[in-house]
Chain A
Amino acid sequence: MSTLINILVLGAIWGALYSLISVGFTLIFGVAGIINLSHGAFYMLGAYLAYTFITVLEMNVLLAALLAVSGTAAIGMLIDRFGIRPMRDTHVYVLIITLAFSLFFQELMYAIYGPHGKAVKSFVSGDMVLGDVHVSYQKVLTFFVAGALVVLLRFFIKKTKTGRSIEAVAQNRDAAVFMGIQPERVYLTTMGVSAGLAAVAGVFIAPILEAVPTMWVFPLFKAFAVVIIGGLGSIEGAIIAGMLLGYSETMVSVLISANYPDMVYLVAIILVLVLRPRGLLGKRAH
């Protein structure tokens, strides 16, 4: 019984977190058509900025979280403006420059905080008890924040004017230009939103895992896996696939061995790309 509760609860929490990381990744692909390998670095920056503001500067948690998220969003927009815009249509270049930025931020954090993990104290203390399973309130909070943000993002895209201009560019860039939308401005906004979402995940993960300089690699490729499974550019697909990945990793970890959950997303990427390259909900893959 406790195994079942464990799988249900932990799977939901990790699933929500993966969905949160992946929606930004899929958004910037769907809109600007680029694979942003800095996405994991935004997640890492979120965690490190949270550490800086909360533990080092001892700020109020809410203010610190807002600063960390908006700071990361600003960095994302700077990268888009000065790193990606000059060569946006060259796939190889975008992959390489965003990878180079990730390595740069990794070394920057390494130089400032060293190789060892930096822990942030939990935003809320205590455990929730379900049967004989203990789940920290920090994880519960993470679940609700991630879920709320993913829902809010959908609302933002469908209902607000900025969101609809984002969707317009994603659907047909040329037609959007004729409607008076400036694509470069939309790309910039999208990158800000996408980086901000990754940073939120980073801020909330900092108390659960620790912040380390190499923490950007696996979330990046898990987001890649989620987005490939869900179909590149599909937000609904990313949410469903994120939950799927969360649950399957937890099941493997609880039922088989703690060694294997990291294998799940690697095998998933390979299987999906070999068997069904367009993903679960994606349109035709190129």
Chain B
Amino acid sequence: MLNLNGLYEPRYINKRLLWLGVFGLAVLLAPLVVDDIYYLELLFLCHYYVILACSWDLLTGFTGNVNFGHAFFIGGAGFAGALLNLHLGWGFWLTLPIGGLVAALCGLVVGSFTLRLKGPYFAAVTFCFATLLYKWIMIRYEIFGGEEGLSGIDWLMETSAGNYYFSGLLMLAVIFVLYLLSKSSFGLILRSIGENETASLGSGINTTFYKIVAFMISAFIAGVAGAMYAHAQMHVGPEMAHDSLSSLVLIMAVVGGMGTIIGPIIGAYLLTLANESLRFMGEFRLLIYSSAVVAIILFAPKGLLDIFGRGFRRIAGQER
């Protein structure tokens, strides 16, 4: 059951906000400690995945509708931004918001057709849209560049440190907005849909409307991130619309803990860094990585945040 008292207890809000503040400060100050380009690029990747995992979490973690096609928005906006930049010469300050709007529009179309469907059906349709986009990119190679994608997009910032700060600030802004949303009555309604959709309907809430809005916000954020990634890499490829990206984002959010905002942040950082630091294992890297994911989901179905939280409370003596 949803505990309403806990949600509005001021101390609880401040504690979580405090943690996010510490995290934000760490993100902003990190380049003072690490100035190696390799680490800055790696952390840029972390920021990118945090944005994706958190945006995915807004719909799926809160309302329980599994989105299997987040790559539809990421790749769609990435290619939209790239084409606008290559053919019309628009800068990133235009292509990022337009990429987001394109994704949100796609979210509106897909969502209004499919969000009245439940769980697995919705998952199937989102997968189909993403795969259709992927196939379309491969077939119309004269527009999208096929397997090789499109290169020669303008850079985001001139240096890695610039990319780091841009993505970091964007990530903090996204997290802050999602935090505010989750504390608002909008977030409360989304959670109530996740707990019991029939009861929410019975309370006079137009659940489909709220799900579509959540889906659009989720798509918008993913689209902005996709366009940002395209500019930072100066390249877009079909892998940005591939189903493996969708499942990667999903796994990150689940490993951290769905529906918690902080969980997907932990999951995205952890899996991005783990993926990179296991590189010395060579071809067994992905095997170890995926076994760890299976183990975490099996033994901590609510995610690592749940485990950390319980351990923390146990040390503090609040729970036995």
**Which residues of A line the B interface, CB within 8 A?**
35, 82-83, 86-87, 90-93, 95-97, 99-101, 103-104, 106-108, 110-111, 114, 217, 221, 224-225, 228, 259-260, 262-263, 266-267, 269-270, 273-274, 277, 285-286
Contacts and interface: CB of A to CB of B under 8 A. Distances in A.
A82 B293 CA distance: 15
B124 A99 contact: no
A83 B290 CA distance: 15
A22 B243 CA distance: 21
Contact of A263 (B114, B117, B132, B293): B132
Nearest to A266: B128
B160 interface: no
B66 A286 contact: no
> Can you list the 9 inter-chain pairs with the closest CB atoms, starting with the nearest?
A35-B120, A266-B128, A111-B287, A107-B286, A107-B290, A107-B287, A104-B290, A91-B119, A269-B128
A264 to B, nearest CB: 11
Contact of B120 (A91, A100, A107, A262): A91
Nearest to B61: A92
A224 B290 CA distance: 24
A221 B124 CA distance: 8
B284 A100 contact: no
Contacts of B119: 35, 91-92, 95
A103 B294 CA distance: 9
Contacts of A273: 113-114, 117, 121, 124-125
B200 interface: no
Contact of B124 (A93, A111, A217, A269): A269
Contacts of A86: 301
B290 A267 contact: no
B290 A100 contact: yes
B186 interface: no
Interface residues of B, number: 38
Interface string B151-186: 000000000000000000000000000000000000
A103 B293 contact: yes
A277 B117 contact: yes
Interface stretch (B8-16, B28-36, B208-216, B247-255): B247-255
Given A100-B297, A273-B114, A95 B132 contact: no
A25 to B, nearest CB: 11
B314 interface: no
Contacts of B293: 100, 103-104
24 contacts: A92-B64, A92-B119, A96-B250, A96-B254, A97-B297, A99-B247, A100-B293, A103-B247, A104-B287, A104-B294, A110-B283, A111-B284, A111-B286, A221-B127, A221-B128, A228-B121, A228-B124, A266-B135, A269-B128, A270-B125, A270-B129, A273-B125, A274-B113, A285-B121
Nearest to B139: A259
Contacts, number: 104
Nearest to A224: B124
Interface in B274-306: 283-284, 286-287, 289-291, 293-294, 297-298, 301
A107 B289 contact: yes
Nearest to A111: B287
B131 interface: yes
Contacts of B287: 104, 107-108, 110-111
A93 B301 contact: yes
Contacts of B310: none
Contact of A262 (B135, B291, B301): B135
Contacts of A263: 132, 135
Nearest to A114: B283
B298 A111 contact: no
B118 interface: yes
A81 to B, nearest CB: 12
A91 B301 CA distance: 12
Interface in B78-97: none
B121 A277 contact: yes
Interface string B117-145: 11111011101110110010001000000
A132 B149 CA distance: 41
B201 to A, nearest CB: 14
A266 B132 contact: yes
A277 B290 CA distance: 34
Nearest to A101: B294
B2 to A, nearest CB: 16
Contacts of A101: 294
Contacts of B290: 100, 103-104, 106-107
Given A103-B290, A273-B117, A285-B121, A96 B297 contact: yes
A88 B120 CA distance: 14
Contacts of B284: 111
